[in-house]
């Protein structure tokens, strides 16, 4: 009886670990600050996540405002490929979002924050060639 209990206990333990691994955050730092190569600029951190939305290979963005005041962040998207090419998409204007004090904005497949959703086919690449997102022309405005 004790052996069956131990076997069941370890089976549940392994299953729980597997489920946790499947739901882990897969956000990676994205290049926001060309001066020091970090994912932080003026108190805003940037992350990206490769996923598929409605059958389209997509990169979702997450911006975290570490400041105690609201900010408006604006940027141009660049895709960095595994062979270090920098690809620009069809949108030549800046994307922008407003982020609450100590808040965050997150792209998702619903299209709620379109500026935070990047379709890889708009950049003539795919998930196999994707390495990271680099933002250029990053602007930062304090919202009062």
State how far the Cα of 19 lies from the Cα of 17, in Å rounded to an integer. Answer: 6
Structural contact between residues 65 and 104, judged by C-beta atoms closer than 8 angstroms: yes
pLDDT score, position 12 = 36
pLDDT tens across 74-102, in order? 998 899 999 999 999 888 788 899 999 99
| pLDDT at res. 13 | 36
User: 75 and 137 in contact (C-beta within 8 Å)?
Assistant: yes
15 has a pLDDT exceeding 90: no
Q: Which of 14-18, 66-70, 88-92, 139-143 has the highest mean pLDDT?
A: 66-70
What pTM does this model have? 0.79
| Mean pLDDT, the chain, integer | 82
Q: What tokens were used for 20?
A: 């946790």
Question: Has residue 8 got a pLDDT over 50?
Answer: no
Q: How many C-beta atoms lie closer than 10 Å to residue 100's C-beta? A: 13
pLDDT at res. 2: 52
Q: How far apart are CA 61 and CA 96, in angstroms?
A: 12
How far apart (Å, rounded) are the C-alpha atoms in residues 31 and 90?
20
pLDDT of residue 18: 34
- Strand, coil or helix: 144: coil
Higher pLDDT, 92 or 61: 61
For residue 19, what pLDDT is reported? 34
Domains in the chain, please, with CATH?
25-143 (2.60.40.3230)
Q: Sign of torsion, CA 110 111 117 123? A: positive
pLDDT at 61 over 60: yes
Per-residue pLDDT, 48? 96
């Amino acid at each position: 009886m004790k052996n069956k209990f131990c076997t069941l206990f370890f089976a549940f333990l392994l299953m729980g670990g597997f489920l946790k691994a499947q739901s882990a955050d897969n956000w990676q730092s994205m290049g926001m600050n060309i001066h020091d190569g970090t994912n932080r600029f003026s108190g805003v951190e940037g992350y990206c996540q490769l996923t598929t939305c409605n059958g389209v290979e997509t990169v979702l963005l997450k911006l975290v405002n570490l400041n105690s005041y609201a900010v408006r962040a604006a940027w141009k998207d660049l895709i960095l490929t595994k062979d270090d090419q920098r690809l620009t998409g069809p949108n030549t204007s800046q994307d922008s979002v407003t982020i609450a004090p100590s808040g965050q904005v997150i792209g998702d497949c619903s299209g709620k924050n379109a500026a935070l959703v990047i379709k890889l086919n708009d950049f003539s690449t795919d998930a196999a060639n994707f390495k990271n997102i680099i933002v250029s022309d990053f602007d930062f405005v304090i919202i009062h």
